[in-house]
Structure 1
Amino acid sequence: MHSPPLAIALGLASALSIAWGTVIRHQLSGVLPDGTGTLRGVLGVVARPLWWAGLGLAMLGYGLQIGALAFGSLLLVQPLLVMKLMFTLPLSARVNGRRISRTETAWATVLSIAVAVLIILGRPLPGAARPPLAIWLPALAVGAVVFLLMYRGADRLRRGPKAVLLGLATGLLYGYVAVLSKAVVDVGVREGALALAASWELWLLIALALVGTGVQQASFNAGALRHSLPAMTCGEPIIAFALGYVVLGERFQVSGWNWAALAVALAAMVVATVQLSRRGV
């Protein structure tokens, strides 16, 4: 069933839930000493009940994202998830006891307009329900190589740069998780529960989601949220957009100069995301 309004509502609810979980889990990273910004450092926070509360909110957000993908294309839902930064901004400000500045409000407005342009002007079309494995394999191979290079490289860096690189690695993983989520939803809706349980897409999705959770916490541990959050928040939609086009065959319904407007909106979304991440957390 294709219902863009319902997909938009679920996507925004997902963004809010993920934002809460992000703020909670990042607050716990302050208890760790320097040098724990890798997966080894995750063991320092997973024993705390508050971390599991944050993870629970993140999982609720992911469940809402799955619901959104059942009613809309990846190219429709993914820009909405960038709005989690809009929600992270006031939540983080409240937790840290500060006020939101006019500059932050201005960038939040830019982000909202950019997302609206991508959705309204782009009018995304759904793609293939279940692309063949031959299309998936090159994309998965490239992603695996890039992730390993990022993760190995992060171990050689200090806290700030390490947080950025681990944030990029997290964005890469979650970009693949987003595309696999859409594929899994389509398999479940079209072919049923048994076909879903037997699908390789489901099990790869679970594996990447688990790895992504660990790498994300490692990026939080490695430095301030202003280092890691812009990288992961920008990286995820860019990877998801690219894979949505290449693997799923989704398309924006634009032509001529509208492509230029769409490109400007995408660039504005990335810039606003970076600015809000650096100023707001």
Structure 2
Amino acid sequence: MIDHVLVVIFALCAAIFAAIGIVVRQRATIDVPEEHGVSTVMLATLLRRPLWWGGTAAAVAGFVFQALALDNGSLIVVQPLLVSALLFALPLSARLAHRRVNRGDWLWAVLLTVSLAIFVLLAHPRVSDQVAPVSTIAVVAGVCTAVVLGCVLVAVRRSGWQRAVPLAVAVGVLFGLVAVLTKMLMHALDRHTVAEVLATPLPYALVLLGVLATLLQQSAFHAGSLQTSVPTMLVVEPMAAVLLGVFLLGETLTANRWEAVVLTVTVLAMTAATIALGRDEGAYEAQLEATSRAT
């Protein structure tokens, strides 16, 4: 029971810092020209901005808390809890845009909060210490690579929401992979020394995917149409992480018939609330961006 409470606390802390990171890093891309949205020019520009580094530091803190949560809990529980980042990002974005969160948003926020609470109470994941065979890992890696590359190729030929959505899908898949690799890394550190773990490709693959996911996320923010990109990545990420956890780590969810029905309804409610709140958070960001460019 204590471990379960710690998992929830760590996951919520991860969500808080992730929300700060998302909002602050969105600020840093407001004045970058659209034609440099997926390029080294944007990267070089952001690396010179203290604001971006501040947002990145918050995102890294969120990742540390996520790793602590995954060290003690399952992807099936931790990743959906990270969606609560919207509960913190929405009022922060609204305040920066000099607007109040409306009643409809608060109702969606209540629905998301209640749904998350029910999910945490009823979800009883079964964690396996077994990792999928190399052949399965290779197939999953190939599929994920194809999805990400396909999304990026589509995005670079589009603009606006047609660029933002495929980038958001790619980001969600990559961060799902990051979550799985993080879970595997924490498990390896529990069993082996740091030197032994560093002798494996796992930590380096994690860093590479984390950097790539962050850069594509920044490009998705910059592409505009945050009303579509924000909810897309927030919905795709936990779905990808949970599915990858099932295929690669053998995680399962134990529930009786009625619990399964309630959990299904809860997941649908969480998804609807995430999409609604993500669109509104994106609307606040779009308004702030338009105001900034007008001035």
TM category (shorter chain) comes to over 0.9
- Listed as ranges, the gaps of 5+ residues in structure 2 are 283-295
Structure 1 Cα separation of the partners of residues 128 and 36 of structure 2: 42
Structure 2 Cα separation of the partners of residues 53 and 224 of structure 1: 24
- Listed as ranges, the gaps of 5+ residues in structure 1 are none
Matches within 5 A, 1:141-220: 141-220=142-221
Alignment correspondent of 1:30? 30
- 2:213 maps to a residue whose letter is G
The offset of 1:136, in angstroms, is: 1.6
Alignment correspondent of 2:4? 4
Secondary structure of the residue that 1:45 maps to in structure 2?
A: helix
User: How many matched pairs?
Assistant: 281
Structure 1 Cα separation of the partners of residues 39 and 184 of structure 2: 28
Determine if contact 1:171/1:233 at 8 Å carries over to the other structure: yes
What fraction of aligned residue pairs are identical, expressed as a percent?
A: 34
Per-residue displacement from partner, 1:178-220 (whole Å, max 9, x unpaired)? Answer: 1111011101112221231122222211110010011011111
The offset of 1:19, in angstroms, is: 0.5
The offset of 1:127, in angstroms, is: 2.1
- 1:9 maps to a residue whose letter is I
Matches within 5 A, 1:223-238: 223-238=224-239
Secondary structure of the residue that 2:157 maps to in structure 1?
A: coil
Alignment correspondent of 2:123? 122
- 2:19 maps to a residue whose letter is A
Q: Are 1:109 and 2:110 counterparts?
A: yes
- 2:90 maps to a residue whose letter is L
Secondary structure of the residue that 1:223 maps to in structure 2?
A: coil
Alignment correspondent of 2:259? 258
**Which has the larger displacement, 195-204 or 95-104?**
195-204
**Which has the larger displacement, 177-186 or 253-262?**
253-262
Secondary structure of the residue that 1:31 maps to in structure 2?
A: coil
Structure 2 Cα separation of the partners of residues 226 and 29 of structure 1: 16
Structure 1 Cα separation of the partners of residues 101 and 29 of structure 2: 23
> What's the TM-score once normalised by structure 2's chain length?
0.91
- 2:45 maps to a residue whose letter is G
Secondary structure of the residue that 2:47 maps to in structure 1?
A: coil
Structure 1 Cα separation of the partners of residues 99 and 47 of structure 2: 28
Alignment correspondent of 2:271? 270
Secondary structure of the residue that 2:158 maps to in structure 1?
A: coil
Determine if contact 2:246/2:252 at 8 Å carries over to the other structure: yes
- 1:261 maps to a residue whose letter is V
Per-residue displacement from partner, 1:111-170 (whole Å, max 9, x unpaired)? Answer: 112222222112222222544433321111110011100000111112222111111110
Q: Are 1:242 and 2:243 counterparts?
A: yes
Structure 1 Cα separation of the partners of residues 267 and 174 of structure 2: 20
